[in-house]
Structure 1
Amino acid sequence: MSISLNGVGYSHPNGMLALRDINLRIEANEQVAIIGSSGAGKTTLLKLLATSLMPSSGKLELLQQHPARLRAGALRQLRSRIGLIHQSPPLPPRQRVVTAVLAGRLGQWSLARACLSLCYPCDIDGARDELNRLDLADKLFDRCDQLSGGQQQRVGIARVLYQQPQLMLADEPVSAMDPVLAEHTLSTLGNIARERQIPLVASLHAVELALRHFPRVIGLRAGEVLFDKAAKAVSQQDLDDLYVNTGLNQPTRQTASALTQPLRNPCL
C-alpha cells in the first residue's frame, strides 16, 4: 500500500476546518481523480499527501512512512520521493527550461552537483527526453517567462517526471491547456504512471477529464468524501449531489460520456 488516511482532518491556523474524517486507501499503481467544487478541500488533501501540511487529526501513511513522526532529515528524504505538479508551477522567470526541468532532482543530488547544474545543465539529454513526452522539446533552451501558461504547466510536469518520484500528485495540472492538449497530457501522465508502476492522484475541476482518464474517482464536498467509486459507476445523481448549491451549471454524465469517444489527432 502506498497511501493510507485514517480519520484524517485538517484545520487552518484560523480555525477553519478544511477536511474532516477522511478515510482512504490508495494502492500502488492506482490512478485516482479527486473532483468537487472550489473550496471542497481538494488542494488541501493534496498538500497533506505531499507532506507540505500535516494532519490536525488522524493518521497519514505514505510510502510506508508516517510523516508526522519523522525528523527533519527523514522528512526531506520522503519529500524527495513525492512529486507534486502545481497548477501554477513555481518557475523562475529568467531560468531556462532545461534548468527548470533538471531542478526536479535537486533534492536527490549533492550540493556540489546541484550548484553545478544551475550554472551548466548536467543532463541536457534527460531534460529533453521528458520534455519530448509532452511535445515541448523545442523549448529546451527558452526562458520560462517566454512560455504560455499551458507551456509552463508542461514544464512543471516534465520537472516532476524527471524527478522520478514514487508517488505522483497533480493539482489541476491542465487548467491552462486547450482541450486537445489537456487530453494528450493526462493520457501521457497516466501512461507514465503505469510504466513506472507508481500511484497518480490528481485534483481536477473538469469532471469529463476525470471520468475519461482515471479508473477511480473521489468526490469531495465541504471537506468530506461524498463518494469513492470506479469512474464508470459515477452516476448523474452522484454529480448532482456533489455540486448542488454551487450556483453553477452542474456537469452531466451524458457530457462526460460523449467525451469518451476517440479524438482526432490527439497529439496535436
Structure 2
Amino acid sequence: MNASLDVGRLRLLREVDLRGSIAAAAREVGLTPSAVSQQLTILEREAGTPLLDRSSRGVLLTGAGQALVARARSILQLLEEARADLDRLTGELSGHVRIGTVASAAAALVSTAAIRLAAEHVALELTVTVAEPARSIDQLLNGDLDIAVVDVYDGVPVPMPDYLLATDLCTEPLVVVSAVGALPGRGEVTLSELSGASWVMPPLDAACGQAVRFACRAEGFEPQVRWETDDMLLLVRAVSAGHGIAVLPRLAVADNVAEIEIRPLAGPGMSRRLLALTRTSSQDRPIIRAALDELVKATG
C-alpha cells in the first residue's frame, strides 16, 4: 500500500513544473538542488510511479507527474482558501504581502501605501517588484505574488482569468508631453496634429507603447519613433532635450526631472485604468485586504 502524499513535496513538484528545472525550483524555495531532488524521489516512492523523466538535458514531468501537478494546484488553492478563512476569523494582520506593479503606479501609489502599511501594521512585511502586467499576472497565478497592480489601456485588452478579482484604483487620461515651446498654442492637442512630429515612446511590448501606436494608426499615420525606452526618467529627459514628443498617462510623467510642457489630449482622448488584482482564494485574508485598502486610499 502506497504512503500518503506529502503536501510540501507536492509543492516542490509544482515548482519544478513552473520553473522548468530542479535547480530553478531549488532557488525559488531556498533549498539546495540535491535536497529538492531527494524530496522528489521520496514523492515518487509515495506515488508508486515515476513523476520526473531525468536526463542530462534536464527534467520533464511524466504523464503521472503532470496529472499530479494538476491535482497539486487544486490542493494548494484549497489550502490558501483555508488560510484565508482562519486569518479572517482571527483577524490576523501579520505576514508577508508580495506586490507586483507597473513602474508608474509604484512611484505614485504603491510607495504611499507601503509607508502607511508599515506605520499601521508593524507585523506586516511588504515586498514590491516592478514588472509589466503580463509578467505580474503570471506571477500572481503561480503564487509568486499576492497582488498585481496592472494598467489597462484603451484598445489593448489584458486577458484575466475569472479566478482573479480586480479592484479599480483609478482611471486617468493620457497627456501630450513636449519640450517647452515645441508645440504651437497652449490648449488641447489632437493626435492628428502630431502626425508629422518625431516621437519618444515606450517599446511595442509595453502596453502604453501598443496603445499609442494603435491610436496613431487609427488616426491614419504611423508615428516616427526616434527614441524608444521604457525608462520614464530617460523618456522625459529625451522629450525635454527636443528629441520628440510623447503621449503618456499623467502619473507616468516624471515632470520633476526635466523641464517639459504637458498638454491635454483632445478627442478622441485616451485613458488607462489602474487595477489591483488578487486571487479569489486569498482575497479575504486580512493582510491582503489591508494592502488593497491602502492602495485605494493612495489614489485619493
Q: TM-score, normalised by structure 1?
A: 0.25
Q: Larger Rg: 1 or 2?
A: 2
Instruction: Compare relative contact order (CA 8 Å, sep 6+) and give the higher one, 1 or 2.
Output: 1
Q: TM-score, normalised by structure 2?
A: 0.23
